[in-house]
Amino acid sequence: MFRFILRRLLQMVLAFFGTTLIVYALMFAGQGDPIQALAGERPVTAAQRAYLTEKYHLDATGVGGFFYRYLNYLGGLLRGDLGQSLTGRQIGDILAAAWPVTVKLALIALAVTVLFGVTAGVLAAIRRSGVFDHATLVLTLLVLGIPTIVLAPLAQYFLGVRWPIFPPTAGAQPSFRALLLPGIVLGSLSLATALRLTRTSVTENLRADYVRTARSKGLVRRRIVGVHVLRNSLIPVVTFLGVELGNLMSGAIITEGVFNIPGVGFNLFRGIRTEDGPLVVGIVSVLVVVYLLSNLVVDVLYAVLDPRIRYE
Amino acid sequence: MTESAVRPTPASPTPPEGHLLEVRDLHVEFRTREGVARVINGVTYHLDAGETLAVLGESGSGKSVTAQAIMGILDTPPAYVRSGEIRYRGRDLLTRSEEERRQVRGTEIAMIFQDALSALNPVFPVGWQIGESLRQRAGLSRADARRRTVELMDLVRIPAAATRLGDYPHQFSGGMRQRVMIAMALALDPKVLIADEPTTALDVTVQAQIMDLLADLRRDLGMALILITHDLGVVAGVADRIAVMYAGRIVEHADVRSLYRAPAHPYTKGLLESIPRLDVRGQALSTIPGLPPNLMRIPPGCPFHPRCLYAQQVCVDEVPHDLVLGDGRTSACHFAQEVHDDRAR
């Protein structure tokens, strides 16, 4: 197991360089004149141009110049310096402010997913073809069919404005209560998937031979389902949830946008919209690390849950 | 051995006394989308304390389903017990509540299955799985359960048992896994052990070891054993009596010696003749022609008649009743006596 983790960490280093390089290239390759983009509509004086050219190492041109800037950027990254956004703010500070909000939102969404999705999935499986099973099937199909861009404003309108159960928007320094509705909206999609996945997995395992053995041991049904079946059924579900947590952590552009939550997705979207290259690349670089780490956690968890899998 | 026990006696209200376990005129059907499959059609057999009954038959003959009906672990749906009785110590299990039946499982009647790899839970250590019954059913403490688990694993001759408690099923060989299954079934000291094709998935040498182990355990622990198999070779050394099943019926029922010496049902005869013999060189393998019947369309009359060398018109018209041949032998064949006397072929 130790060797497996070590090997995966080494692979992560490669993946990290690869992804940051691609993102860096895509973000800056398409740009015309970065200095003019920075200035927007206003004219740029020769002195300003000279200053900015030096500051952003724009004097070196071509592929060599690109790699020079990329390596320079990486060097800063490795020292923990994400650089400045075009608006002059430290990207590290922006992320430090945005991340806790996104993490809170992600955890709410994940809690909703586990609490309702997994529970309902188990119930639907043990009462297969019952009313509950059919009801959840219709509901999950509905949720899976509606894109977040529709679901989020609908929830905001009905539950935030029409019947003001929740605050309609979050704003800076959002409270737990303000994040609850966006968390539910964000979680509903993974909830539906988790429900379907759990139901299928539990249904399959209920038919397994070891269930027959457990029954022949005279165990009560609650224990057979709650211990024997559940432990086996949760292997694929936990894998899904792990990957999903990585997704949620990287911010939800639409949900954060609709509910005006100053999280990672919100900032990333702003970066893209204002062509703020350093901001986008900075956020994405960190997202890559979050993604890689969450995948590693999933792999390790997988081995813990299923003893048949041993990584060596 | 009483004759009345092997005869189907659905109409008689007085149960014969003294059998440990008795299945009487059991009917089980599987209700599927394609139709109703009559899987068990009036099975009657009994088991006395300390004896070994072999239930023999091809796949689909209903031998495992009968066993699962005894255990009360049939999957309903699709399986439904239509009628019959399963008497354990004189009381009909089928009329009891699910909770009462659960109490019987493991403590009175235990079962082991064909494929131990899938029958064991893959994500729990074997020690945990054996100890589970002790902790959950017998109320043993963690430490006591652990101690008893090691004893049980020693009993089924798993080497270095104490060091293997934490191993998972996939870390054991096939034979060792089946020993784990047996240890698990023995945990609560059952009076009846049902072994459902316990050696089918194993190598021949390991088969013999497991059969020896089962025979020894049965003797040492004073259990009664129902051995379900399709392998006549497995049965010979171990069983006291044999019940041969075909299309959900017991077609022949006899003690092992007389059955091997002179089968009294054409199906049993065919089975015996299809065993390859090492002492006769160059002999073509004999097989029973045709296939087992589709259980949704069991042929009228004797279900074996389309494949039977002895079949006459009467076999198509009439379902044969059990013919008593003496010594408690029965055969559900119109020509049982002829088949029996025909042995010197």
Which of B118, B132, B188 lies nearest to residue A209, judging by beta carbons?
B118
What angle, rounded to 10 degrees, do the helices at A230-249 and A91-112 form?
Answer: 150
Residue B184 touches chain A, beta carbons under 8 Å: yes
Residue B33 touches chain A, beta carbons under 8 Å: no
Is B10 a residue whose pLDDT tops 70? no
Which of A207, A219, A308 lies nearest to residue B122, judging by beta carbons?
A308
Residue A215 touches chain B, beta carbons under 8 Å: yes
Select from A14, A13, A28, A18 the least CA-distant residue to A281: A28
pLDDT at B169: 92
Residue B141 touches chain A, beta carbons under 8 Å: no
pLDDT tens figures, B266-299:
898 888 888 777 776 777 777 888 888 888 888 8
Residue of A nearest to B189 (CA): A217
Name the pLDDT band for B345 (thresholds 50, 70, 90): very low
B123 and A231 in contact by Cβ < 8 A?
A: yes
Name the pLDDT band for B343 (thresholds 50, 70, 90): low
As a whole number of angstroms, the distance between CA A144 and CA A242 comes to 19
Which of A220, A232, A307 lies nearest to residue B102, judging by beta carbons?
A220
Is B8 a residue whose pLDDT tops 50? no
Average pLDDT over chain B, rounded to an integer: 85
Question: Which of A215, A216, A219 to probe the B interface (max B CBs under 10 A)?
Answer: A216
**Does residue B322 contact residue B306 with C-beta atoms inside 8 Å?**
no
pLDDT tens figures, B110-158:
999 988 889 999 999 999 999 999 998 888 889 999 999 999 998 888 9
Name the pLDDT band for B11 (thresholds 50, 70, 90): very low
Q: What is the ipTM of this complex?
A: 0.85
Name the pLDDT band for B17 (thresholds 50, 70, 90): low
Helix or strand run (H / E) with residue B268? helix B266-273
Dig out the tokens for B95 from the structure.
């009329």
Dig out the tokens for B286 from the structure.
């004999």
CA-based nearest distance B294→chain A, Å: 24
B106 and A216 in contact by Cβ < 8 A?
A: yes
pLDDT at B14: 41
A216 and B105 in contact by Cβ < 8 A?
A: yes
Which of A210, A218, A223 lies nearest to residue B120, judging by beta carbons?
A210
B110 and A208 in contact by Cβ < 8 A?
A: no
Question: Which of B68, B123, B196 to probe the A interface (max A CBs under 10 A)?
Answer: B123
As a whole number of angstroms, the distance between CA B57 and CA B235 comes to 12
pLDDT at A210: 94
Contacts of B125 in chain A (CB under 8 A): 307
Q: Which of B1-5, B66-70, B138-142, B326-330 has the lowest mean pLDDT?
A: B1-5
pLDDT tens figures, B170-195:
999 888 999 999 999 999 989 999 99
Dig out the tokens for B78 from the structure.
């699709």
pLDDT at A175: 78
Contacts of B71 in chain A (CB under 8 A): 215-216
B122 and A210 in contact by Cβ < 8 A?
A: yes
**Those residues with Cβ within 8 angstroms of residue A293's Cβ, 6 or more apart along the chain or in another chain:** A12
B123 and A223 in contact by Cβ < 8 A?
A: no
φ, ψ for residue B263, nearest 5 deg: -65, 145
Contacts of B115 in chain A (CB under 8 A): 209
Name the pLDDT band for B231 (thresholds 50, 70, 90): confident
Residue A228 touches chain B, beta carbons under 8 Å: yes
pLDDT at A48: 79
Q: Average pLDDT in the B8-29 region?
A: 69
Order of strands across the sheet that contains B91-92: B35-47, B21-32, B79-88, B91-92
Residue of B nearest to A233 (CA): B123
Is B5 a residue whose pLDDT tops 70? no
Dig out the tokens for A128 from the structure.
């297969």
Size of interface A-B (CB pairs under 8 A): 78
**Does residue B333 contact residue B246 with C-beta atoms inside 8 Å?**
no
Residue A232 touches chain B, beta carbons under 8 Å: yes
**Does residue A213 contact residue A280 with C-beta atoms inside 8 Å?**
no
Which of B132, B168, B170 lies nearest to residue A217, judging by beta carbons?
B132
Name the pLDDT band for B9 (thresholds 50, 70, 90): very low
CA-based nearest distance A214→chain B, Å: 9
pLDDT at A40: 67
What string of pLDDT tens digits covers the 312 residues of chain A?
A: 778 888 888 888 888 888 888 888 887 766 666 677 666 677 778 787 788 777 777 776 677 777 888 888 888 888 877 777 777 788 888 888 888 888 888 999 999 899 898 999 999 998 888 889 899 889 888 888 888 888 888 888 888 788 888 887 777 777 778 788 888 888 888 888 999 999 999 999 998 999 999 999 989 999 999 899 999 998 889 888 888 888 887 768 888 888 888 888 888 888 888 877 788 888 888 888 888 888 888 888 888 888 887 765
Residue B202 three-state SS: coil
Residue of A nearest to B112 (CA): A213
A218 and B137 in contact by Cβ < 8 A?
A: yes
Residue of A nearest to B188 (CA): A217
A218 and B120 in contact by Cβ < 8 A?
A: no
Q: What percent of chain B is modeled with pLDDT above 70?
A: 93
